[in-house]
A and B are shown apart, each in its own frame.
Chain A
């Protein structure tokens, strides 16, 4: 059932393409049935989980690597799966109106469903490797969604930034998860959790956790990686509402919560998460007040809330798990609604800038009402669900598991972020819906279509209704999630008003009050300098890093591939020497038998000696033709030695290859000057000579070492007998080529063909500015640099082309 749930969203994704031809809202209503069905199916499994059970399903995949598609549904997975499918349904509906008439709607739906499937897989996975796969799939689909408007450079940059940062963190996460799996002896999450004590005692615990933290922090936009999230706001608003507030960015928090029960109780966990979460929470809350773009404001407030969640996952204490679960739910409800409403405002008014918006409450009364209610929830004003969650946070902060001194700091930080939360909620509402009419809006602003308001209305209603009498039911629903996060029997009890007035309530009210007072000083706060030093600007560091990588790659490529054939040769041969020589020197000479001259016939000796003579002649050749002849002389002598040692197949091949190589060289050299020109300096020549000599010695050493190794029984005899009985051929070489090692041969001919394609593309498919061979109007004037560039030899600025006699082609039938 669980596998089916994940696969449904992934496999139904192509259905989204129907919206390509019919980008009308009705398609969205039909497509919304998919996530709705998933929501209903998951809800149907909920009673089992509420009764304390667990739904599991596993499909073996690569058993030897411990990889299996293992899924499990417990309280935490249930909460996330319901959020993903439930909000997903609303988002699909919302998209139908938001992107109505957009020809890319089909593509958007396709990616959205892939993301949905990936996210469901992530939260349902019970195997860390399965989870990782879906984790990366969410990054990739997020990249496609953020880059949806790929005509805009900012959208491309935002998409690329999100991808590089989350996938970079994903790499760290993969290593961390593998280390964790090694320490636990299993990749199954439930078994890893069961082996908690063993892992904490293992030396792998610290590196594994740090790497996993890196993955979670990048994914959940924690400081100092938080800057990708505001840039990802280039995504169409449905994607922002879904991925970047309600679901994907919570994946990091999800994983931390998942590992929380048995792996959390260490200083490493406590301090890393507390400090990072607290910093993120404060930076997000402060920066949200400095943003003019309403989506940017919401993005920073999301960062702040994600920081709160990490803080709650880290700081310990009896109330923290309950507060974490309540915060996740409350945030998904109000932030999902606010993003969709921000999109509606953008859609109708044509701008997202607070300085250009204003007074929309008359034109968009429904949007205004919903946004006000959700913003009140975000600010934590009583009787809304956000208030209930904030009470839980404060309870947890008051009773946290940190050492004295530090605990007060955390409490102050939580209250401070609540104060700023009030402020940015107020900015959002007052800036968009109140005050004078905005200057940069469309002429006639209308209320958003009803379908667009349906989703936000539903979420806002939940924010309002849940605290009015449904709190005990909600607590019952959330209790399994709390159980999954904490194994110390933490209880969640949600209430609107505590039985007695305690510190949390006082702090909550104080925060509201200070926030309300601070709204009077909004202009000053907006204009206040950034809390971060200017050099700690993630955007700028990211750009510098990307630029640096590109520049480094360019320098690297220019050095290695400078267009001169001789330097390609130098690098290739040098690499061979560097790679082969050290292992040869270390391991190759044990039991090396130096060759003796016993039994070498005089004629063999002479023909072997002719080879170096040919080499010397090649090096000293003055003309190209002489060089070719001397070089092919070397090849022919090698072929002759093959003949002597009765390897006729090799000799034949060598001979033919030698002949054809000569032909190819002649084809090229025929149009070059008859004699060689000295283009390289004496020092370059001696350097190249040294490399060549060393490479030759290394290869000779490999040949000697290979022939004197005797540990492995010789395979020739087996080949010889098998050749006739199994391969039905007397020619062992050929039977090996086409039968025993036929797959190698197949690979070789593929390489051969690929090389041909490369050469063909290089010579034939290049843009030709010169007249082609069919165009004989203008005389062709090839320059020597052109020829040189073609051969990769020599450089530009050579003497002007001399008049040559063009070889006559195709004459004389």
Chain B
């Protein structure tokens, strides 16, 4: 979309770093600033950076998943863990925790899983929105095939 060699190089380097950062934000959220929403936004901005640098087609090829489905999955995933409370005859969304903390992740419980659902939803919604806009044919028409192919420099 925006043809800049610097942007492309940097964004390519930034992608894994931003995704790792988003996971980090998600995991540390329970005790330190962060959480599913912030982590999701960081991950989405990583994807959107790729969209700006390379265009929507690229991200479709590199991440061949439907972000719409990802968002839907996130909502269902988040809602799912609350059912444990119902199944055991208590309130919906009652928190359940594993007693021993898991090394590297910390304590695991249904609120953390719920947060993962939020995380996935935010990624899906934000990225899909950017894709919908970037792939909008009225805004970004398909480059028409040149009248004389030799008039345009061949693509790299």
- Which residues of A does B touch, CB under 8 Å? 648-649, 652-653, 656-657, 659-660, 663-664, 667-668, 670-671, 726-731, 733-735, 737-739, 742-743, 745-746, 749-750, 752-753, 755-756, 759-760, 763-764, 768, 770, 772-773, 776, 779-780, 782, 786-787, 790, 806-813
Contacts and interface: CB of A to CB of B under 8 A. Distances in A.
Interface string B94-108: 010100000000010
Interface string B141-156: 1111100000000011
Contact of B109 (A728, A770, A813): A728
Contacts, number: 195
A657 B57 CA distance: 24
A410 to B, nearest CB: 62
Closest 4 CB pairs of A and B: A810-B57, A648-B33, A656-B41, A729-B30
Contacts of B44: 660
B15 interface: no
28 contacts: A649-B33, A649-B35, A649-B38, A652-B34, A656-B42, A660-B41, A660-B48, A727-B111, A729-B31, A731-B29, A735-B30, A735-B111, A738-B30, A738-B35, A742-B82, A742-B114, A746-B79, A749-B75, A749-B117, A753-B72, A753-B75, A776-B142, A782-B141, A787-B138, A806-B144, A807-B1, A809-B57, A812-B3
A657 B68 CA distance: 20
Contacts of B30: 728-731, 734-735, 738
A772 B135 CA distance: 11
Given A657-B41, A809-B142, A811-B3, A753 B121 contact: yes
Interface of B: 1-3, 8, 25, 29-38, 41-42, 44-45, 48, 52, 54-58, 68, 71-72, 74-75, 78-79, 82, 92-93, 95, 97, 107, 109, 111-112, 114-115, 117-118, 121-122, 124-126, 128-130, 132-145, 155-156
Nearest to A745: B118
Contacts of B34: 649, 652, 731, 734
B88 to A, nearest CB: 17
A743 B128 contact: no
Contacts of B141: 780, 782, 806
Contact of B95 (A727, A752, A756, A790): A727
A766 to B, nearest CB: 10
Contacts of B55: 808-811
B140 A753 contact: no
B54 A660 contact: no
Contacts of A652: 25, 33-34, 38
Contacts of B144: 776, 779-780, 806
* Interface residue SS majority, chain A: helix
A734 B143 contact: no
A755 B71 CA distance: 11
B133 A749 contact: no
A676 B8 CA distance: 30
A780 B117 CA distance: 40
Contact of A810 (B52, B56, B75): B56
A810 B54 contact: yes
Given A660-B45, A664-B130, A786-B138, A746 B82 contact: yes
Contacts of A770: 137-138
A738 B111 contact: yes
B126 to A, nearest CB: 6
Nearest to A729: B30
Contacts of A738: 30, 35-36, 111-112, 114-115, 118
B35 A790 contact: no
A752 B111 contact: no
Nearest to B48: A663
Nearest to A663: B48
Contacts of B56: 809-810
A811 B4 CA distance: 11
A787 B139 CA distance: 7
Contacts of B122: 749, 752
Most A CB within 10 A of own CB, among B8, B38, B52, B68: B38
Contacts of A779: 144
A663 B109 contact: no
A56 B111 CA distance: 49
A787 to B, nearest CB: 6
A315 B124 CA distance: 70
Contacts of A808: 1, 3, 55, 143
A243 to B, nearest CB: 42
Contacts of A809: 1, 55-57, 134, 140, 142-143
Contacts of A737: 35-37, 115, 118
A773 B31 contact: no
B45 A772 contact: no
Nearest to B132: A763
B132 A812 contact: no
B115 to A, nearest CB: 5
A334 B30 CA distance: 77
Contacts of A782: 137-139, 141
Contacts of B133: 664, 667-668, 763
A807 B134 CA distance: 10
A363 B83 CA distance: 69
A664 B129 contact: yes
A813 B58 contact: yes
A395 to B, nearest CB: 64
B68 A760 contact: yes
Nearest to A805: B143
Nearest to B155: A811
Contact of A773 (B1, B97, B135): B135
A671 B31 contact: no
Contacts of B78: 745-746, 749
